[in-house]
């Protein structure tokens, strides 16, 4: 399968990398939840050469992820495995960091809740979870664009934009240590396992 290309991935990868360079400085094994096209995995693995970057997604995205991986030819980038909250158990991997971008608002509410609970349960003490995407704050949209986006998501059958307070409520065992404002009305939430 050919590589899929996401313009938004291309635009946001450098600002995200700037943050991951700080918060994944001590990380060794990163699990990416929802690797999508594979662009982020290749970009981050290239510049975070001290980590092993493990990709995961639903089977239909594996072809594109693998095509990006094959072209990049990086030794610290691992082929995708199938992973979907509610369908698959947490992988038997010694990961000390987790990353996800633009997945939380795609997931149904119960799957987003399950993701927060499962990451909180399985990260080791001191482990870091970096979660990127649009979020609501105190029940409010951060922009009109996000309001419109959320309506289109829900009309399309997706779960929609979650509120940060809701994520905190679900993430028992993890502490939200940073809420970084990102371009295009997104956040990078940085969670640590207590």
pLDDT tens digits along 46-100: 999 999 999 999 999 999 999 999 999 999 999 999 999 989 999 999 999 999 9
Per the CB < 8 A criterion, the answer to whether 44 and 13 are in contact is yes
Report the alpha-carbon distance of residue 131 to residue 106 in Å, rounded.
13
The pLDDT of residue 1 is above 80: no
Report the alpha-carbon distance of residue 66 to residue 179 in Å, rounded.
32
Reported as type and span, the H/E element at residue 92 is none
Q: Are strands 174-182 and 186-193 parallel, antiparallel or unpaired?
A: antiparallel
State both tokens at 134.
């649009």
| Total-model pTM | 0.97
Report the alpha-carbon distance of residue 92 to residue 176 in Å, rounded.
25
Spans of all domains in the chain: 7-193
- Looking at domain 7-193, which of 3.40.50.150, 3.30.70.240, 3.40.50.720, 3.30.450.20 is its CATH number? 3.40.50.150
Quick one: pLDDT at residue 194?
Answer: 84
Per the CB < 8 A criterion, the answer to whether 177 and 192 are in contact is yes
Per the CB < 8 A criterion, the answer to whether 37 and 61 are in contact is yes
The one-character DSSP state at 172 is: T
State both tokens at 30.
């990163």
Tell me the CA end-to-end span of the chain in Å, nearest whole number.
41
């Amino acid at each position: 399968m050919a590589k899929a290309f996401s313009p938004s991935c291309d635009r946001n990868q450098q600002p995200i990398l700037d943050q991951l360079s700080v918060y994944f400085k001590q990380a060794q094994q990163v699990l990416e939840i929802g690797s999508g096209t594979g662009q982020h995995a290749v970009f981050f693995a290239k510049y975070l050469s001290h980590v092993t970057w493990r990709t995961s997604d639903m089977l239909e995205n594996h072809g594109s992820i693998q095509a990006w991986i094959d072209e990049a030819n990086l030794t610290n980038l691992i082929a995708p495995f199938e992973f979907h909250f509610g369908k698959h158990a947490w992988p038997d991997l010694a990961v000390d960091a987790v990353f996800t971008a633009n997945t939380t608002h795609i997931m149904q509410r119960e799957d987003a809740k399950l993701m927060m609970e499962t990451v909180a349960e399985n990260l080791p003490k001191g482990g870091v979870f970096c979660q990127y995407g649009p979020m609501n704050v105190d029940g409010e949209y951060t922009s009109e664009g996000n309001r419109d986006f959320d309506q289109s998501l829900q009309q399309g059958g997706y779960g929609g934009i979650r509120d940060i307070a809701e994520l905190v409520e679900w993430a028992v065992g993890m502490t939200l240590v940073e809420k970084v404002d990102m371009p295009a009305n997104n956040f990078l939430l940085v969670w640590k396992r207590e």
